[in-house]
Chains A and B, each alone.
Chain A
Amino acid sequence: MNTAYWNRDKETLKGDGLEILQSKRLKWTVRQAAEVPFYRDLFRSAGIAPADIQSVRDIEKIPFTTKKDLQQGYPFGFLAVPMKKVVRIHTTSGTTGKPTVVGYTRRDLDNWSELIARNLTMVGLTDDDIFQNAVNYGLFTGGLGFHYGAEKVGMTVIPSATGNTRRQIEMIDDFGVTALHCTPSYAMHIAGVAEKEGTTLPSLKTGMFGAEPWSDNMRKILEEKLGVTAYDSYGMSEMYGPGAAFECQERDGLHIWHDMYYVEIIDPDTGEVLGPGERGELVVTPLVKEAMPLLRYRTGDITMLMEDECPCGRGAKLARFSGRCDDMLVIRGINVFPSQIEHVLRSIPEVGDEFLVYVDRVNHLDEMTIDIELKREYFSGELSDLTRVQNKVVAALREALNLRTRVKLVEPESLPRYEGKAKRVVDRRGDTV
């Protein structure tokens, strides 16, 4: 077993040493947050002053920050530094109204590269490796984030981005690529095309997959088809990007970089903080974010802190993510809330109020199918009128979600009716690979 560390001191920090460092960084973060009008107001309405937060034990005094709060700060309301200090901007996909804008100072980019370097080293990669980064470059954080981290390690980086899969495969073979980073669904696609092209991609040994939920079953298939050991990566733009938590070679949970993020698990309904082994919503307080500090940010992602110490010697681990506590869906990398679908459907008079969203993985790509009912009074008896409504809904959804969806007309009153909280989504991606 390879036990290399990029930053052994920080990665294996434990007990008092860790708490002292986290507390020191939390106090800095609170002061940094006080530069942001939103947080000044938040402190005032909660009746706290930055000086009230002396250690991580005081963190529960601070109210949560939500994605909605961030959106209301569009575009630069959450920046704690002058724009002069901001050297890069990324944004989220922004399907829920305004996108979330994330700014980075030079030091933020260094921190981010540092944690990517830790991840790559943790899974046994070194400057001897040739790394193909087959994710979207640009505003999506996966491209540049991994790119700079891999360069920091000294790996040979191929910024292949996405698309042109045959060319991707040709590069893997011709350049002797040893490590690949992409979404799990794109990895499946690469595996399928490689098979057709008659190559087993013999040089590949490490696969790092993230930005989408993927099952252990899918891990087995990817490892078999690509001949790699596959690792799970977690992150979000609000936490710099991917790589905030990452699997070590044990592949039993994702180490959260405890010197850079303070994590809590809460009951999403009550906000109560839960203990290790209890599943709930991940709440993150980044400890080193300079341009855009956040305090107790509710990620909406469901996980738990694992109880056992990891044989690799690093700190706390999060269990593999098991979904969202809100109903956000990630379809081909785009965030979709059922409320957005509802909004679109309600704007079309022919369509009834009930709907059901099915998410499947077809040929390794996410497919969203939405069952809708036509209102009786709009049924003319003509097939062409039905097709027109169907196409109208598809077009409206594409416009609003930036996604191609399938729309199925179903018989009136055939969709389930709910008295309480409606269950609008059936995610069947876990059923297949």
Chain B
Amino acid sequence: MDPSAYTIKQISVFSENKPGRLMAIAGALEEESINILAFSIAEANGFGVVRALVDKPDAAYKKLNAMGFMVSFTDVIAVRMRDQPGGLFEMAKLLSDAGINIEYSYAYSGRDAAVLILRVDQVENAVKAILFRGGNLMKSEDFMAIS
């Protein structure tokens, strides 16, 4: 098992908390025909970080960076959940049993399953622990666009 296969590149974009910033980011991704698979905004004192999983992370990075945005890649993992009542509970229990601390998380409900995206401090250990407990981790290639 290669844990890096399960490491997914999230793009994190610094944004001031003011009207029009999300529009600028989303518009840029549209121009490059980049699809956003999951997305969240975290906000602090007057600014925020837009986090997204996209099908072409390198192209997204390049485009946003060229536009002047501060962009960085953040390693996250994504684990499938049952898209039914109790699905999140099962997953939360698994993470708890494995002693995995979540820095932040967001989720989306896709065609085949609900997906929980997790930012954890020790990615490799988390991958191993989740797989060991039978968790259904997604691979980074699952998010990639077919080129």
Contacts and interface: CB of A to CB of B under 8 A. Distances in A.
A376 B72 CA distance: 9
Interface in B8-40: 10, 12, 14-16
B44 A413 contact: no
B42 interface: yes
B47 to A, nearest CB: 5
B68 A386 contact: no
Contacts, number: 54
Contacts of B45: 387, 390, 408
A381 B44 contact: no
Contacts of A411: 14-16, 68-70
A413 B68 contact: yes
A383 B49 contact: yes
Given A374-B70, A413-B68, A386 B47 contact: yes
Contacts of B143: none
Contacts of B134: none
B74 A382 contact: yes
B46 A383 contact: no
B146 to A, nearest CB: 27
B70 A412 contact: yes
A414 interface: yes
Interface string B38-75: 00001011111101000000000000000011111110
B141 to A, nearest CB: 22
Q: How large is the interface on B (under 10, 10 to 19, 20 to 34, 35 or more residues)?
A: 20 to 34
Nearest to B75: A381
A379 B47 contact: no
Contact of A379 (B14, B16, B44, B51): B14
Interface in A363-395: 374, 376, 379-383, 386-387, 390
A408 B47 contact: yes
Given A379-B70, A386-B44, A411-B68, A374 B14 contact: yes
A381 B49 contact: yes
A319 interface: no
Nearest to B42: A383
A422 B68 CA distance: 22
Nearest to A412: B70
A83 interface: no
A376 B70 contact: yes
Among the interface residues A381, A382, A408, A413, which one has the most CB atoms of the partner chain B within 10 A? A381
A387 B16 contact: no
Interface of A: 374, 376, 379-383, 386-387, 390, 408-414
